[in-house]
């Protein structure tokens, strides 16, 4: 039997799955397609690490490792929903909840001192940050707005904040002494095993990473951020924001860049509150309280300290003395610096650009903002967009073009694969990358506290990335632009490889360019304003940034994108959009039994999954399901059945009903498979006849609190009861 793997993840996407998956399973079964689930949620990943501490009933297999293996097989067909990447505060909160649910899990050891604590820490480190994506992404990314979504956005343009020519909003970035400027890169000539070694000023050697396996043709980079320069830069930006009378905000990726960016975030917290750390830094360190966890964690942790009240007063004084700080939630006093995973650059920067270049201040009002992005690798992209808006005004979603993306991400390419090779340097000296013969390939002189990292990008993914770019350019006729900077060490090596592999393909009549990121941004924006499309062909980080930046401007959200990962060994991975606002959605559900999560990304992924299945297995009925689901999704958009934001409208469960109705009607009306049409005819008739009753049953539960039995690991029975409240709809789906 043909098989689709549907992933259980976290937060709002997980809750939506309780409502949508029964529909998917019932419809898929009519085509002989089995839909299986795998739990790759943060809670599930934690539980899988500690089987020896748990009862038989509590244990879970390591579903992520299983799917990682499956992703290398030609039969892979995986639908992957957004998951929590997990900052340390999120990880600790998940562990606490699981402990309260009866799981005998150890506490997260902040500063492990014993072998047991180090082993526990290593297990937790495996699940925090972007643990999921590098494992599953055995292919490169093809991400774009489906025609139906783009058409809907043009017909029903979302609100865009007006821009002023005298806006003071800008990006601040280091430009020197950072990861970009210190980068060195080499192409490995033959299969080898590398070693990363710290050589102290006294000649002593410490192996930071042994046995780094590399393949012939692999691009290996090394770089570091000079922390003394970082601290000077941050102090200057705090003073600049104060002098210019604008909000101060920091934009990092403390989830995906789970080692480097939390450390940088901690330096931002210290730079914003220097007096606090001068006065109480020693006491905070002694209590194991790290600025890397943010102000929220610090304020909570100092409650138990003798100096707790004085420390809290010092925090408030520091906030008062500094520039106005951008807020995550001004009503609740949650600042830009409260939680490292609250302000994720790829979501926060486009949201700011869409809102007139404003963020929210402590007074609950919008204001111009200094967006601090310490590393300069990609900061120029955002400055270019800001400059364009200042000069030309806000973009018009009714007329603007699109920027789909082809992203290099297979085999943990580039920065997103650097976590196990990122180190906070303990002592002055030199970090060396040596080959198997002991020769030094790359080296940097470093000081204590510097953040050093190495990245790998294998040759086969680069070759596949070039092929995918040409394929998409040929399919669409749009120019394809490789966002690569000749003056950056890594990019220079990639440019040579792109130029080597492009002649392997028929590019006659295609426009294929190579431009540095800021230049590529300006080129794409000029075309956007003319209503023209431009394919951005980027590395892994810019893939993330661009597939939020442009969709948020074009569509109002990045959750409505089609994200296909053609796996290099023939399988397919189908991703379902971003989960950025998922925590707020869960809070709303618990408070008033209303889930505004939009499952449109799941609809697109499912159609692509069925289509891949039909192509790879010859299952004609799966193709009928794909085609009818596409048409049903178009009707869904035209009839405006997406969830509204507030109680009283259609929520996620109502949107699933309407998708099921339109899909059943399309299946009943199609002529390719008479037996399938007959099977869905009665369902389509009953859903249409009972529309008012079903909508009433779904609406009746809104407005009161909902008990799902847990945030990170809801109780399945409670979650299902909350997410499937229409007995009429449930009975109708069961008839299949």
In this predicted model, what pLDDT tens digit does every residue of 9-64 receive, in sequence order? 999 999 999 999 999 999 999 999 999 999 999 999 999 999 999 999 999 999 99
Residue 556 and residue 158 in contact, taking contact as beta carbons nearer than 8 Å = yes
Distance, CA of 611 to CA of 624 (rounded, Å): 9
Q: Per-residue DSSP letters for 252-281? A: B-TTTSTTHHHHHHHHHHHHHSHHHHHHHH
What average pLDDT does the segment 214-226 reach? 98
With 0-12 / 13-18 / 19 or more C-beta atoms within 10 angstroms meaning exposed / middle / buried, residue 339 is buried
**Whether the predicted pLDDT of 581 surpasses 80:** no
Q: What are phi and psi of 142, to 5 degrees?
A: -120, 105
Under the banding of pLDDT at 50, 70 and 90, the label for residue 110 is: confident
Residue 140 and residue 407 in contact, taking contact as beta carbons nearer than 8 Å = yes
Give the percent of the chain with pLDDT over 90: 88
The one-character DSSP state at 105 is P
Closest by CA to 323, choosing from 241, 231, 419, 261, is: 241
3-class state of residue 538 by DSSP:
strand
Asked which of 303-312, 501-510, 616-625 is least confident by mean pLDDT, the reply is 303-312
Residue 11 and residue 579 in contact, taking contact as beta carbons nearer than 8 Å = yes
Distance, CA of 587 to CA of 11 (rounded, Å): 9
The one-character DSSP state at 8 is E
The predicted pLDDT at position 217 comes to: 97
CA 699, chain centre distance (Å): 32
Query: Could you count the other beta carbons within 10 Å of the beta carbon of residue 484?
Result: 23
3-class state of residue 79 by DSSP:
strand
Mean pLDDT of the chain: 95
Distance, CA of 392 to CA of 530 (rounded, Å): 12
Closest by CA to 58, choosing from 70, 71, 49, 67, is: 49
Distance, CA of 10 to CA of 39 (rounded, Å): 9
Closest by CA to 431, choosing from 183, 259, 210, 199, is: 199
CA distances 87 to 162, 326, 376, 453, Å, are: 34, 20, 23, 19
Residue 327 and residue 338 in contact, taking contact as beta carbons nearer than 8 Å = no
3-class state of residue 481 by DSSP:
strand
Q: Which two tokens stand for residue 264?
A: 């940088």
pLDDT digits (tens, 9 = 90+) for 410-446: 998 999 899 899 999 999 999 999 999 999 999 999 9
Under the banding of pLDDT at 50, 70 and 90, the label for residue 366 is: very high
The predicted pLDDT at position 580 comes to: 57
The predicted pLDDT at position 662 comes to: 98
The predicted pLDDT at position 708 comes to: 98
With 0-12 / 13-18 / 19 or more C-beta atoms within 10 angstroms meaning exposed / middle / buried, residue 215 is middle
Residue 31 and residue 625 in contact, taking contact as beta carbons nearer than 8 Å = yes
What average pLDDT does the segment 93-121 reach? 94
**Whether the predicted pLDDT of 131 surpasses 80:** no
Distance, CA of 566 to CA of 137 (rounded, Å): 9
Asked which of 340-344, 382-386, 451-455 is least confident by mean pLDDT, the reply is 340-344
Q: Cα 212–215–220 angle (5° rounding)?
A: 65
Distance, CA of 560 to CA of 354 (rounded, Å): 17
- Residues with Cβ within 8 Å of 418's Cβ and at least 6 positions away in sequence, in order, are 257, 259, 260, 453, 454, 455
Query: Could you count the other beta carbons within 10 Å of the beta carbon of residue 281?
Result: 14
Distance, CA of 95 to CA of 20 (rounded, Å): 28
Q: Cα 362–367–372 angle (5° rounding)?
A: 85
- Which residues does residue 514 pair with via DSSP β-bridges, in sequence order? 482
Extended beta strands in 401-534, E state: 405-407, 422-424, 429-434, 440-446, 451-457, 480-483, 512-515
Residue 428 and residue 466 in contact, taking contact as beta carbons nearer than 8 Å = no
**Whether the predicted pLDDT of 578 surpasses 70:** no
Residue 345 and residue 252 in contact, taking contact as beta carbons nearer than 8 Å = yes
The predicted pLDDT at position 341 comes to: 85
**Whether the predicted pLDDT of 1 surpasses 70:** no
The predicted pLDDT at position 721 comes to: 98
pLDDT digits (tens, 9 = 90+) for 641-682: 999 989 999 999 999 999 999 999 999 999 999 999 999 999
Sign of the CA dihedral with 460 first, then 464, 467, and 473 last: negative
- Which residues does residue 444 pair with via DSSP β-bridges, in sequence order? 431
The predicted pLDDT at position 519 comes to: 98
Q: Which two tokens stand for residue 591?
A: 């408070």
Give the residue carrying structure tokens 């940034």. Answer: 545
Predicted TM-score (pTM) of the model is: 0.85
Closest by CA to 79, choosing from 29, 134, 136, 41, is: 136
What average pLDDT does the segment 83-100 reach? 91
- Which residues does residue 707 pair with via DSSP β-bridges, in sequence order? none
- Which residues does residue 206 pair with via DSSP β-bridges, in sequence order? 198
CA distances 259 to 446, 532, 663, Å, are: 17, 39, 45
pLDDT digits (tens, 9 = 90+) for 494-548: 999 999 999 999 999 999 999 999 999 999 999 999 999 999 999 999 999 999 9
Distance, CA of 684 to CA of 678 (rounded, Å): 10
Query: Could you count the other beta carbons within 10 Å of the beta carbon of residue 119?
Result: 12
The predicted pLDDT at position 635 comes to: 94
Under the banding of pLDDT at 50, 70 and 90, the label for residue 86 is: confident
What average pLDDT does the segment 385-397 reach? 97
What average pLDDT does the segment 687-697 reach? 98
CA distances 577 to 79, 541, 571, 587, Å, are: 11, 16, 19, 20
Under the banding of pLDDT at 50, 70 and 90, the label for residue 133 is: confident
CA distances 235 to 62, 232, 270, 500, Å, are: 44, 5, 9, 44
Under the banding of pLDDT at 50, 70 and 90, the label for residue 136 is: confident
The predicted pLDDT at position 88 comes to: 86
Residue 224 and residue 455 in contact, taking contact as beta carbons nearer than 8 Å = no
What average pLDDT does the segment 453-466 reach? 97
What average pLDDT does the segment 205-232 reach? 97
């Amino acid at each position: 039997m043909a098989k689709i793997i549907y992933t259980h993840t976290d937060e709002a996407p997980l809750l939506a799955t309780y409502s949508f998956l029964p529909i998917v399973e019932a419809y898929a079964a009519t085509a002989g397609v089995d839909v299986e689930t795998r739990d790759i949620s943060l809670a599930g990943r934690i539980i899988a690490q500690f089987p020896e501490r748990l009862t038989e009933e509590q244990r879970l297999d390591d579903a992520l490792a299983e799917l990682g293996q499956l992703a290398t097989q030609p039969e892979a067909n995986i639908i992957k929903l957004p998951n929590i990447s997990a900052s340390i505060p999120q990880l600790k909160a998940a562990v606490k909840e699981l402990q309260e649910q009866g799981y005998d899990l150890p506490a997260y050891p902040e500063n492990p001192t014993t072998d047991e604590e180090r082993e526990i820490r290593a297990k937790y480190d495996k699940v925090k940050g972007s643990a999921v994506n590098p494992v599953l992404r055995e292919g490169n990314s093809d991400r774009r707005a489906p025609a139906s979504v783009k058409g809907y956005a043009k017909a029903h343009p979302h609100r865009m904040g007006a821009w002023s020519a005298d806006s003071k909003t800008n990006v601040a970035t280091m430009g020197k002494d950072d990861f970009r400027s210190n980068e060195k890169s080499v192409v490995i000539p033959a299969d080898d095993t590398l070693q990363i070694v710290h050589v102290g000023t006294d000649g002593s050697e410490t192996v930071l990473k042994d046995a780094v396996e590399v393949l012939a043709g692999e691009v290996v980079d090394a770089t570091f951020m000079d922390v003394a320069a970082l601290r000077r830069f941050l102090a200057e930006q705090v003073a600049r924001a104060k002098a210019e009378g604008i909000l101060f905000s920091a934009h990092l990726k403390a989830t995906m860049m789970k080692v480097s960016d939390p450390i940088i975030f901690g330096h931002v917290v210290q730079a914003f509150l220097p007096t606090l750390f001068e006065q109480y830094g020693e006491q905070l360190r002694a209590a194991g309280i790290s600025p890397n966890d943010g102000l929220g964690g610090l304020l909570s942790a100092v409650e138990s300290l003798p100096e707790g009240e004085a420390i809290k007063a010092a925090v408030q004084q520091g906030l008062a003395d500094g520039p106005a700080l951008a807020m995550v939630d001004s009503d609740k006093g949650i600042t830009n610096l409260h939680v490292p995973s609250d302000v994720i650059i790829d979501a926060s920067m486009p949201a700011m650009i869409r809102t007139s270049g404003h963020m929210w201040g402590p007074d609950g009002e919008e204001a111009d903002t200094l967006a601090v992005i310490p590393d300069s690798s990609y900061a120029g992209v955002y400055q270019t967009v800001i400059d364009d808006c200042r000069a030309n005004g806000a973009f018009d979603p009714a007329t603007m073009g699109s920027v789909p993306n082809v992203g290099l991400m297979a085999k943990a390419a580039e920065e997103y694969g650097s976590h196990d090779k990122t180190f906070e340097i303990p002592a002055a000296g030199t970090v060396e990358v040596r080959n198997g013969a002991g020769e030094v390939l790359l080296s940097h002189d470093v000081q204590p506290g510097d953040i050093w990292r190495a990245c790998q990008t294998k040759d086969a993914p680069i070759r596949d990335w070039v092929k995918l770019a040409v394929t998409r350019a040929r399919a669409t006729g749009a120019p394809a632009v490789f966002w690569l900077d000749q003056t950056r060490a890594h990019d220079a090596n990639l440019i040579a490889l792109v130029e080597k592999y492009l002649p392997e393909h028929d590019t006659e009549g295609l426009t294929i360019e190579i431009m540095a990121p800021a230049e590529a941004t300006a080129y794409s924006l000029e075309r956007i304003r003319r209503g023209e499309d431009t394919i951005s062909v980027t590395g892994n980080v810019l893939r993330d940034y661009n597939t939020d930046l442009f969709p948020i401007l074009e569509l109002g959200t990045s959750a409505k994108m089609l994200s296909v990962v053609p796996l290099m060994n023939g399988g397919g991975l189908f991703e379902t959009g971003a989960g950025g606002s998922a925590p707020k959605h869960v809070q709303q559900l618990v408070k008033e039994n209303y889930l505004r999560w939009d499952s449109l990304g799941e609809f697109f992924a499912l159609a692509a999954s069925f289509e891949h299945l039909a192509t790879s297995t010859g299952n004609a009925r799966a193709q009928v399901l794909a085609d009818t689901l596409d048409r049903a999704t178009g009707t869904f958009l035209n009839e405006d059945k997406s969830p509204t934001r507030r109680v009283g409208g259609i929520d996620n469960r109502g949107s699933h009903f309407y998708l099921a109705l339109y899909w059943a009607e399309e299946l009943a009306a199609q002529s390719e498979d008479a037996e399938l049409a007959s099977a869905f005819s009665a369902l389509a008739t009953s859903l249409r006849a009972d529309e008012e009753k079903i909508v009433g049953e779904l609406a009746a539960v809104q407005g009161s609190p909902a008990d799902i039995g847990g945030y990170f690991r809801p109780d399945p029975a409670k979650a299902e009861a909350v997410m499937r409240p229409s007995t009429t709809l449930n009975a109708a789906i069961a008839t299949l």
